[in-house]
Amino acid sequence: MNARVLVIYTGGTIGMVPSEQGYVPEPGFHDRVQAQLESLGEAALPEYDLIELDRLIDSANLVPNDWREIALAIEQNWKTYDGFVVLHGTDTLAYTASALSFMLEGTNKPVILTGSQIPLAQLRNDALDNLVTSLMLAASREIFEVCVYFNGRLLRGNRSLKVRSSGFDAFDSPNAPWLGQAGINIDLRPDLLLPPGRPCFQIPEFDPAAVTVLTVFPGMPASLIEAAVDSSAVKALVLQTYGVGNPPDADSALIGALEVAAKRGVCILNLTQCQQGAVSQGAYATGATLNRIGVVPGADMTLEAAFTKLHYLLGLGIEGEELRQSMQASLRGELSEG
């Protein structure tokens, strides 16, 4: 039996059209896709349907509950289709890929996110190859997880990040190997792909104020941390520190502000500012200070994975020590353990 794939268009450059204000999302993408694919002739594409979100998103305007809407669209159609392609703007695509990986627990079908740097409507574009290859990947019987496909690279969704603002090779996974590569052939890495699970989707509502992010910089005042966690709505802080997880520990006021926040119950997660590598909290005395005050080491998670994982767990009502432990465990292959 041929695979059936559902394509969900959420907005983004791939389906945009020119306007006086620049590229903008526009309904009617289905017809443009159909025309492009029909121009390929008798191509061996899987059977597919395409739906559009009621409100198309310019991905720079994405909010956490947009992840919920996309996940619900997948859940509602899960039994009808063999795979899914989510067309998304590139700016926040890695956030959505990470969020979906957590909500779609026990995935036993491929969910492929893709987009483009140039719209499908333009003569010269990267959109058509990304779309066609994603359709083929979504029909695969070997992929059972949320992935990003872009410019020949198949990446674990919660390991991906946008590494180039305008290049076609916009996405990579610096802390994890590619799951596959598309050239003349599509070559997958079965040894790296997650095994199939038993679907047990958990799709919470999100409080957009629950998680905040701060990047450490030279001379950073303690008042920034105090302001960031001042609201009782803030349940978690992602702190991006230097190197292997080092803060400016000579600043007693800054460390004191972190300690006060931790004692108040804010989960503080330590990530490295480096694109590649992991937090080794305690390798230097500066990092050991964070251990003392209860900051959670974020291993080699991307910011996108850490941010969405915190939102997901908090949305499920998980807090305190359970949240701290869950953030240090690999739920969907988002971090390297051991």
- Known binding-site positions for substrate: 59, 90-91
Given 13, 92, 107, 241, the catalytic residue: 13
For residue 10, indicate whether it is catalytic.
Answer: no
- Please give the annotated binding residues, written as ranges: 59, 90-91
Tokens (6 digits) for 332: 């969907």
Given 90, 92, 212, 272, the catalytic residue: 90
Give CA separation, 142 vs 20, 108, 182, 187, 335, in Å: 44, 9, 15, 11, 22
Q: How many CB atoms lie within 10 A of CB 79?
A: 7
Give me the sign of the Cα torsion angle 237, 241, 247, 251.
Answer: negative
Residue count (the chain): 338
Do 259 and 293 contact (CB within 8 A), yes or no?
yes
**Residue where the block lists tokens 């001042």:** 230
Separation between Cα atoms, residue 12 and residue 2, nearest integer Å? 29
The DSSP-derived string for 181-242 is: EESSSEEE-TTTSPPP-----------TTSEEEEE--TT--HHHHHHHT-STT--EEEEEEB
For residue 90, indicate whether it is catalytic.
Answer: yes
Do 169 and 222 contact (CB within 8 A), yes or no?
no
Separation between Cα atoms, residue 159 and residue 166, nearest integer Å? 20
Q: How many CB atoms lie within 10 A of CB 50?
A: 16
Do 157 and 113 contact (CB within 8 A), yes or no?
yes
Tokens (6 digits) for 174: 């610096």
Tell me the catalytic residues: 13, 90
